[in-house]
Amino acid sequence: MARSKKDIDFELNLLPVISLLAVCISFLLLTTAWVHIGSMDVSQALGDDKSEEKENPPSVWITFEDSNQISLVLKDAKDSPKTLRSVTLVGTTEGPDWDGVENYAKTLKEQMPDVKTALILPGETTPYSDLIRAMDELKKQDMKNIGITPL
Amino acid sequence: MVRQSVIERQLNQSPLKAQSPLNPEGGRRRRNLVSTLILTSLVDVFSILVIYLLMNTSASTEQLELQKDIQLPQAEQSHLLEPGLAVRVDKGHYFIKDEKVQLENLNERLAQVHEQLKEDDSERAKKMIIQADKTIPFHLLNPLVLAASQNGFEKISFAVLEAEVSQ
């Protein structure tokens, strides 16, 4: 069968493409941050006079006590279930009972979805990692306003 | 005249073909050595690398210098780092923007820096970014938390490493 004169012999020169990609890779390798640093935000009260007039929203207070014990108390919450009003979680020598904190936060979210405020009261010897873990567990359950009380 | 593509031409001239007992070239032995380099796979690899590096690029504009001795805690629910005043607690010493500050002067120095930031950049003046090792007790962070609320920092951010979401 005779070939048509309209057949096109197409050749793609890949060398410029490879050069371009090599430059892109070099640039990105030099500028990429391999360790991603994020942030956990807490809000601080600045002592506004008007705050005395406002009604306090329902909030959960998390107190770090000695021997890895954590107490969770629900404040300013009307008609709260008895099981959520005050809970004490006993930890082990390895650390606090984080599963208990997670379960409490999940139950709180299910039964009282209006509670979006939490206040963390750390102890003097509370490790920084425990503080962050507590904040993390609360944020997982959509607690938007988290504060920390100084000693 | 038969038109051939580049690849077909190179295959016809390959040394292996010249070695064949059924020599299609009519007995003529050609010693032209042409090496072919298939670039398609190289382009594929480069493209994948570029795509991976582009996806890895962080959208955060704020950069924080990590210290070797400080191991940040990990958190799953972390946000992008936003502009703020970077302070650091390193082995019991306090650093405000890499300037070492004594504990007695911490409040005063933070007030000065806060005033400067308010004049220069109002966004940075509202936030304090605390960088500390995960094992330190809270009483070392307490002066910073206190000073932040006393000097008008509305938000405190704790620098953390992003952890993978557990299922």
Report CA-CA distances (Å) from B9 to A14, B14, B19, B25, B117.
18, 9, 16, 13, 70
Helix H or strand E encompassing A109: helix A98-111
Q: Give chain A positions within 8 Å (CB) of B42.
A: 14, 18
Q: Return the DSSP state at B65.
A: P
User: What average pLDDT does this structure show over B79-84?
Assistant: 82
> Which residue in chain A has the smallest CA separation from B151?
A46
- Shortest Cα distance, chain A CAs vs residue B95, angstroms: 17
B147: Cβ contacts below 8 Å, ≥ 6 apart? B106, B107, B110
ipTM: 0.76
Report CA-CA distances (Å) from A70 to A91, A113, B140, B141.
8, 22, 20, 20
Q: Convert the pLDDT of each residue in B21-74 to its tens digit.
A: 555 555 555 566 667 778 889 999 999 999 999 888 766 666 677 777 888 999
pTM check: above 0.90: no
Place of tokens 């480069």: B46
- Shortest Cα distance, chain B CAs vs residue A62, angstroms: 15
Which tokens hold the place of A98? 């984080």
Q: Convert the pLDDT of each residue in B129-161 to its tens digit.
A: 999 999 999 999 999 888 888 888 888 899 998
With an 8 Å Cβ cutoff, are B160 and A40 in contact? Answer: yes
